[in-house]
Amino acid sequence: MDQILKKLKNKENLSYEESKKAFSIIMEGKASDNQIYDFLTLLSEKGEVSDEIAGGVYVLRDKSKRVNVQNCVDTCGTGGDGKNTLNISTATALLLASMGIKVAKHGNKAVSSKCGSGDVLEALNIKINLEPKDIEEQINKNNFGFMFAPNYHSAMKYVGPTRKKIGKKTIFNMIGPLSSPALVERQVVGVFDKKLLKTFANGLKNLNIRFAWIVNSEDGLDEISPYAKTNVMQLKDNKISEITIDPKELNVNADKFENLLGDDAKFNADKMIDIFKGEDNDFSKAVCLNCAGGLIVSEKFSNFEDAYNNAREHILSGKTFEHLRGIQNG
């Protein structure tokens, strides 16, 4: 570990293998709190690169409980955009499930906002403390299963106290969303910083991902925005390309950003139920845009506008609420 820290002190990037080695030491409880503190802060000061992220993801996945499902999508952002919006990626996951897409959603309770995916799902009466066998069953039955990160990544206990002490974003904010215990091969990932788009795409190249969209909007969301252009880095068949989504071109006609602001879990869950019953508003449009990304990476659609319009038609029909009731009843 000392060699690795020395490299980071000299502002040198770690290779994929060096990153795997460092994370293995940390995740096996063989690093001191001071070493973990130095490792995370030095990485952050230097600026994390794709090989370092991929190494961390490899180890975190390797040490997690495993959920055995095929051909699933995950919609999970880094969080940390500081916008306190409603739970867009969680609502997106439920909409996708109601449209026949299998979703293995990976998430946590609130860290950087008032309400994380775990909080809002609990408020919707969806069980979040399920074991792998139960999640596999749920996905096969209702197209939706939620893996509550603390239950699946017990090795994270070694870094929890140090992350709290550091008190700001570290590489774990980046590797968490990519470390699905279901080893999903299709993913829509929102990032809090435009600079991370390429870094994430290159990191995912090491991880057998078939099709991923990494998104960041020009109004600062780690989601596809209904108000501003969104920059997308697409990774498909190991090739990276750039796409821009412009809500004006899609005639989204969303009103104002304040309409996406969330509050506590009950507030956010109630807003979700409203749109699933067919209420048309900015939240519904935002969810349909992100759902369209999920439909693209699932390869159900190849044209984004068609995918968006299809999601709109589906959510406004109220069918998503019916599907939600099936998930709630297990």
Q: What sign does the dihedral 111-116-117-118 (CA atoms) show? A: positive
Bridge partners, 106 (sequence order) = 147
CATH class of 73-153+169-328: alpha beta
Alpha-carbon distance of 317 to 133, in angstroms, equals: 32
Smallest CA-to-CA distance from 308 within 27, 174, 104, 300 is with 300
Q: What share of residues in the chain are helix, strand, coil (percent, to 5)?
A: 50, 10, 40
- Is 233 in contact with 201 (CB distance < 8 Å)? yes
Alpha-carbon distance of 29 to 17, in angstroms, equals: 19
What is the predicted pLDDT for the residue at 296?
98
- How far, in whole angstroms, is CA 242 from its chain's centroid? 19
Tens of pLDDT, residues 309-330: 999 999 999 999 999 999 998 7
Query: Which homologous superfamily does the CATH classification assign to the domain defined by 2-62?
Result: Transferase, Pyrimidine Nucleoside Phosphorylase; Chain C (1.20.970.10)
What is the predicted pLDDT for the residue at 110?
81
Q: CB-hemisphere CA count at 13 Å for 184?
A: 29
Tens of pLDDT, residues 197-218: 999 999 998 888 999 999 999 9
Alpha-carbon distance of 71 to 112, in angstroms, equals: 30
Alpha-carbon distance of 123 to 87, in angstroms, equals: 12
Residues of the chain with CATH 1.20.970.10: 2-62
What pTM was estimated for this model as a whole? 0.94
What is the predicted pLDDT for the residue at 111?
67
Residues of the chain with CATH 3.40.1030.10: 73-153+169-328
What is the predicted pLDDT for the residue at 167?
83
Low-confidence ranges of the chain (pLDDT < 70): 111-112
